[in-house]
Chain A
Amino acid sequence: MTIYADNAATTRMSQTAIRAMLPYMDQIYGNPSSLHSVGQAAMEALTEARTRVAAALGAASPREITFTSGGSEADNQAIRSVAVWGKRKGKTHIISTAFEHHAVLHTLKKLEKEGFTVTYLDVHENGLVTPEQVEAAITPETCLVTVMYANNEIGTIQPIRQIGAVCRKAGVLFHTDAVQAVGHIPVNVQEDNIDLLSLSAHKFHGPKGVGVLYAKKGVILSNLIEGGAQERGKRAGTENLPGIMGMTAALEEAIRELPETMPRLTQLRDRLIAGLCEIPHGAVNGDLEHRLPGNVSFCFEGIEGESLLLLLDDGGVCASSGSACTSGSLDPSHVLLAIGRPHEVAHGSLRLSLDRDTTAEDVETIIRVTRQVVEQLRAMSPVWRDLTDGKRAFVIE
C-alpha cells in the first residue's frame, strides 16, 4: 500500500470537488460571455462561485476575486500589478523574504533587471520573519511587501496579520502567497490586513490549473494575459468553469473541516517529528510552533535526498526533498539554505506533508521505513564514514 505524504506538492481531489465539477462539463457547458441562455447559465454559476470564494476568504466583495490558472499566475500578476503602479508613482522598492516560492522570487529577479530594488529579509534559523524587520526595511520608495503566508518546504507560518498591520500603517501594499495556507489554517483577508493574496486549488483537494488572485478594492491590477473582457478585463481567456466550481467546493469543504483536521493533523505531525528525531544526526527544519499542521521537514546528515526518496518510494512512502538532484539544479533548496543549512546537509532533506487521509498507523510506517532507509544509505556513504570516524565534523549533533 502506498502512503502519500506529499500533499504540499499536490493533493488528491475530494469527492465533493469532483461532484461539483461534473455538471459544468456536459450540462452547464456554456461560455459565460455568451448572451444566450446556455451561456447565461454558466455566467450565473460563475457569479455564484465568485461570491462563495469571496465569503470563504473574508473578502469585502466578490469584485475582489479574480480567477487565474493557479498560484504561480496569481503571484506573477499580483507583483507585476503593484510594480506597474509603483513605477508610475516613482516607488521602485519591494520587500520580500529569502525563501519565497520561485513564482515570487523569479518575478522579483526580473523586476530587479527592470530597475527595481528588492530587499530580501532574513528568515532566521527558525524560518520566520518579524513585523519589526518589515517595518525597518520600509522606505518612502517602497511600493510592495510580499511575504508568503506559510512556507512550502518547512511549513513555517509567518506573522501575516502583524506584517499586514505594519504595511497598512506605512501605506505600503501587502501581498501574500497563501498557496500553502488557504484550506490548511484559518485565513481571512480583511482580518489579516492583506491587500493581495494568491491561492491554488490543488493544494486543498481541488482541481489543478485553477487559482485565485484576491485584490482589495482600490488595488489596480495589470493584465498578464490580454485578449478579452473576462474577469473585469483583468484576465483574458474563457473561464475554467468546471475548475472554478470544483475549487469553490473544495475550499468551502476544507475550511468547514478545519476545526477537525487541524488538531488531528497537528497531533500526527508532532508524533512523526518525535519519531524521526530518534534518528541520530537528523534535525527538524523550521519553527515547531508556528508551523502548518501537516508539515514535517528534516535534514539527515551523510545521505542525499534523491536516493532517500527513491528508497522511501520502494517502501511505499511518497515524499519530497530539497536536494539538488530533486530540485533540477545544482543547488539544494534555497529555503534550506536561507535558514542556514549548509549545502551538504541540505542535500539530505526530506519533506513529508500529511493530509486528512493520513492515519496514525501511516505515521508509524513512515517512521519505520525512514529509519531503515536512512541507515541503509548511511551504510554505503563515505561522508557518513568520515563523520563517524571523526574525519569530518557533524553539523547536526
Chain B
Amino acid sequence: MALYSDKVMDHFRNPRNVGVIEDADGVGEVGNAKCGDIMKIYLKIRDDRIDDVKFETFGCGSAIASSSMATELIKGRPVSEALKLTNQAVTEALDGLPAHKLHCSVLAEEAIKAAMKDYYDRHGIAYDEHLFPAAHDCEHCGE
C-alpha cells in the first residue's frame, strides 16, 4: 500500500492555489521551520465571500496536499462557511491521511483561521473570540 491516497498525491503533485496575494485582506501563518512545517494562507475577501485564496507551504507531502485541499474547500465560499472548515473535512476530502500526518490537516485549518482573524483585525470587524482558539502549541519545541 502506498503511503498516501491518490487524492493526496494529486494535490501534492499539482497543488491548487499556490502563490501569494500581494494585496491580501488577511494573511495567516502557522507552524515553524524547526518542526518541519510552515503554512501561510493569503485571503482576498469581497462581499463576505472568499474571493481568492493562495498558499505557500514548507513541509512534507501531506502538508502541501492539506494546504491545497483546504484552499479548494473555501475558495468562493461565504466567509461564514470558511470559518467552519475543520481538519476532519480536509482529511476526508483527501480520502484520509496516515495517523502520524493528521497534524498537517490541523495546521491547514489553523492557517485559514489565522488568516480570517487577521482579516477581522485589520478591518476592525468585531468577532467572537471563541471562533479562534489559540493555535495548538507545538509539543515538540514549545513554540
Contacts and interface: CB of A to CB of B under 8 A. Distances in A.
Interface of A: 302-307, 310-311, 314, 323-325, 328, 330-332, 342-344, 347, 379-385
List of 3 A-B pairs having minimum Cβ-Cβ separation, nearest first:
A344-B33, A306-B60, A325-B60
B122 interface: no
B35 A304 contact: no
B34 A344 contact: yes
Contacts of A384: 58
Contacts of B18: 379-380
Interface of B: 9, 12-13, 15, 18-20, 29, 33-40, 55-61, 63-64, 100, 139-141
A323 B36 contact: yes
A380 B135 CA distance: 23
Interface SS, B side: mixed
Contact of B56 (A310, A331, A344, A381): A381
A307 B33 contact: no
A324 B36 contact: yes
Contact of B12 (A307, A347, A383): A307
Contacts of B57: 380-382
19 contacts: A303-B58, A304-B37, A304-B58, A305-B60, A306-B61, A307-B61, A311-B13, A323-B60, A328-B100, A343-B33, A344-B34, A347-B33, A380-B15, A380-B55, A380-B56, A380-B57, A380-B64, A382-B57, A385-B20
B58 A382 contact: yes
Given A332-B36, A383-B38, A304 B12 contact: no
A307 B12 CA distance: 8
A382 B29 contact: yes
Given A302-B58, A324-B35, A385-B20, 9 more contacts: A304-B36, A306-B61, A323-B36, A325-B59, A332-B36, A343-B34, A380-B57, A382-B58, A383-B33
Contacts of B55: 380
Contacts of B40: 382
A305 B37 CA distance: 11
B4 to A, nearest CB: 8
A314 to B, nearest CB: 7
Contacts of A311: 13
A79 to B, nearest CB: 29
A63 to B, nearest CB: 45
B140 to A, nearest CB: 4
Contacts of B15: 380
Contacts of A323: 36, 60
